């Protein structure tokens, strides 16, 4: 009887070892997925503190991905709307190509004029009451 009990315990132990190995493999695979997602989540604004194991769950990741999709849609929609907005830009030497490039990338229609003075400025004026330069 004792041999049979030991045999059964041995079989149970092997079953438990197999289950443990399967679970270990599953944990390692999930860890690899999370490590692959890490840069993507950081791009969406997750900090190292938010990426701790107790704060990352599938619902939060889904919410983050959905927020990014909505943001992308808003950018595209906003860009289409901005195409109808003309920006009169009077560049300074210190600006280089940065301002013109940024405004163009965001979809604004640009009309470039000659600088009116040599003073460095950081001003934006907008609205219907702004006189047309010319």
The answer to whether residues 44 and 65 touch, using CB atoms and an 8 Å cutoff, is yes
What is the mean pLDDT of the segment spanning 2-8?
84
Asked whether residue 8 falls in the same domain as residue 40, the answer is yes
**Residue span of the structural domain in which 30 resides:** 2-79
Q: b/e for 35-74, b at 16 or more Cβ within 10 A?
A: eebeeebeeeebeeeeeeeeebeeeebeebeeeeeeeeee
pLDDT digits (tens, 9 = 90+) for 77-117: 777 778 888 888 887 766 667 778 888 888 888 888 887 77
pTM for the full model?
0.39
- Alpha-carbon distance of 27 to 65, in angstroms, equals 23
Asked whether residue 71 falls in the same domain as residue 100, the answer is no
What is the mean pLDDT of the segment spanning 48-72?
72
Asked whether residue 40 falls in the same domain as residue 90, the answer is no
Asked whether residue 25 falls in the same domain as residue 52, the answer is yes
């Amino acid at each position: 009887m004792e041999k049979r009990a030991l045999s059964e315990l041995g079989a149970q132990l092997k079953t438990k070892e197999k289950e443990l190995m399967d679970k270990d493999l599953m944990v390692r695979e999930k860890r690899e997925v999370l490590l692959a997602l890490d840069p993507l989540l950081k791009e969406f604004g997750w900090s190292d503190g938010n990426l701790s194991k107790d704060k990352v769950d599938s619902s939060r990741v889904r919410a983050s991905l959905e927020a990014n999709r909505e943001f992308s849609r808003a950018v595209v929609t906003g860009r289409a709307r901005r195409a109808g907005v003309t920006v009169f830009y009077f560049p300074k030497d210190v600006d280089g190509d940065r301002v013109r490039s940024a405004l163009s990338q965001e979809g604004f229609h640009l009309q470039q004029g000659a600088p009116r003075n040599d003073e460095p400025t950081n001003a934006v004026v907008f609205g219907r009451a702004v006189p047309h330069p010319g």
